[in-house]
Chains A and B, each alone.
Chain A
Amino acid sequence: MHNIELSTKDLNVFYGEKHAVKDISLDFAAKQVTALIGPSGCGKSTFLRSLNRMNDLIDGAKITGEIWLGDENINDPKTDVVLVRQKIGMVWQRPNPFHKSIYENIAFGPRYHGIRDKRKLDQIVEESLTKAAIWNETKDRLNKSALSLSGGQQQRLCIARSIAVSPNIILMDEPASALDPISSAKIEELIADLKQEYCIIIVTHNMQQAARVSDKTAFFLMGDLVEYDDTSKIFTNPSEKRTSDYISGRFG
């Protein structure tokens, strides 16, 4: 049995009148990849964004329920979101490197969190880039603008950037859907590697990708969690008819 890294209890998200996520209770284990699947507008991305309190930025969003990170309910208004976000990293659909050098993109977070020593920062930069499988491509051009990298490289840089502040959990919102097939495959390989260390929660529209990279899969529909089980079971023998309809491509 794996340790539970993050769990939600009766999590609801409202955008004004719209009830976008309904009573979701899920456990996410350490060193596992959980895929969130479902048709567009089913609430999976909204759910993901609630986990590191990014929905706080949206006016009129209201989140009820509990999110447990260790023994702390991080959905409590008193929680320090800065600390939460340091422990829970995030990667978006479109790569969004800072308009800075490759080195600064990585060093920026750790330096803010208190690491001033240049040698230590160099080490973090190298480690993070290595873990994100982009060190070899960038080591000779660390001072070049991150925007000079290709889309796929930028996305791996963004993953390295989130690793650099040493989170336990990484949230990925369709991290490969804006990339070409080769870059996309590299991201999938990377996810398989990162699983050795992190709890990864990934939203994806790509069924094959979910089947390939994840250990657990949660199927969302209209804000409800329809089914949550081992990925192999969801894709071969789901217990809900709606799940099998979606996976076999009958809707969505």
Chain B
Amino acid sequence: MSAKTADKIATAVIITLAGFIVLIMAGLLGFILYRGVGHISFDFLTSAPQTIKAGGGIGPQLFNSLYLLILTMIITIPLGLGAGIYMSQYAKPGKITDFIRLIVEVLSSFPSIVVGLFGLLVIVNMFGFGFSLFSGALALTVFNLPLMVRITEQAMASVPQAQKEASLALGLSKWKTIKSIMLPIAFPVILTGTILSAGRVFGEAAALLFTAGMSSPRLDFGNWNPLSPTSPLNPFRPAETLAVHIWKINSEGLAPDAPEIAAGASAVLILTVLIFNLLARYIGRLMHKKFTATK
């Protein structure tokens, strides 16, 4: 076989495989959207679920998912940024950083159900936070933190050394150099990575079953006092998220329209993650322009 034929065959095989993957993905996405989109309405997105009657919505669950995401980000962003900056700028490369990196890798590939059970034992019971948004956010931190650390570390490492040297040579301190010269350059990459990692947090279910709980108290959306038990903002109340809700009504839903609700909720979930991804690209490009090109 000539080199030319081999090249042609290889190209054909690779294109076929890629096409096959695209087909599976598009099929899956299309199927979920086809089944669910028809069910999405303003009422569906805002009203509370019904236990045994038809016509329930996913309002509280959607709110819980978004709120839980915000709480998780409040915990992970400072920790992830700090650890990532430490790893890339302060730590001397060696055994200790290799060890930290290994732990981070292991942490990010933990099975989520294990993290959920760990959360139940330690956060919910031992520390006594109960089934709550806060417990859920801590469990999600276990997944999200490694991602944030890696994203920050890589983004900081990709800042040209010449920028760092120029700043230090002006007599600026290391911290000022990191804060005012390096972080602005790394920021678009960090932001994009953060939004992408938010997609994973949004879709997580297994880790939340035993931490954020499978029920939502009756919420009063007029009560914005975060300490009140019926307030949606109270971080110490149980909160069923969208992904958990899908799992629950699929396995034990009593409402006659449970399959439709599950399909609709799945479509909402997928669409939200899709929006996160598109947003990440758009904002990333915008930031890149803002920081590098002319205004």
Residues of A participating in the B interface, judged by any CB pair closer than 8 Å: 52, 54, 57, 59, 82-86, 89-90, 92, 94, 96-101, 108-109, 112-113, 143-145, 147-148, 158, 161-162, 165
24 A–B pairs (Cβ distance < 8 Å), ordered by A? A54-B168, A57-B164, A83-B171, A85-B168, A85-B169, A94-B162, A96-B160, A96-B165, A97-B166, A98-B163, A98-B166, A99-B185, A99-B291, A99-B292, A108-B170, A112-B170, A113-B171, A145-B293, A145-B294, A147-B294, A148-B293, A162-B169, A165-B170, A165-B171
Task: Evaluate contact between A98 and B172: CB separation under 8 angstroms.
Answer: no
Apart from A59-B92, A109-B172, A162-B170, 5 more pairs, CB < 8 Å: A83-B171, A90-B166, A98-B163, A109-B171, A161-B166
* Nearest chain B CB to A125 CB, angstrom units: 14
Query: Which residues of B from 163 to 201 have beta carbons under 8 Å from A?
Result: 163-173, 176, 180-181, 184-185
Q: Which residue of A lies closest to B172 (CB)?
A: A112
Instruction: Describe B's contact surface by its main secondary structure.
Output: helix
Q: Bound complex: CA of A235 vs CA of B131, how far in Å?
A: 82
CB within 8 Å: A-B pair count: 75
On whether the beta carbons of B169 and A99 are closer than 8 Å, the reply is no
CB distance from A87 to the nearest CB of B (A): 8
> Are A109 and B294 touching (Cβ within 8 A)?
no
B positions within 8 Å CB-CB of A: 92-93, 160, 162-173, 176, 180-181, 184-185, 291-295
Is A82's CB under 8 angstroms from B172's CB? yes
How many Å from the CB of B90 to the closest CB on chain A?
A: 13
Q: How far is the CB of A149 from chain B (nearest CB, A)?
A: 10
Decide yes or no: A54 and B181 within 8 Å by CB, A96-B160, A148-B294 being known contacts: no
Q: Which residues of A contact B180 (CB under 8 A)?
A: 108
- Given A99-B185, A144-B294, A145-B292: A92 and B162 interface contact (C-beta under 8 Å): yes
Q: Which residues of B contact A85 (CB under 8 A)?
A: 168-171
Say whether A144 contacts B295, CB under 8 Å: yes
Residues of A contacting B164 with CB < 8 Å?
57
Q: Which 3 A-B pairs have the closest CB atoms?
A: A86-B171, A96-B162, A85-B171
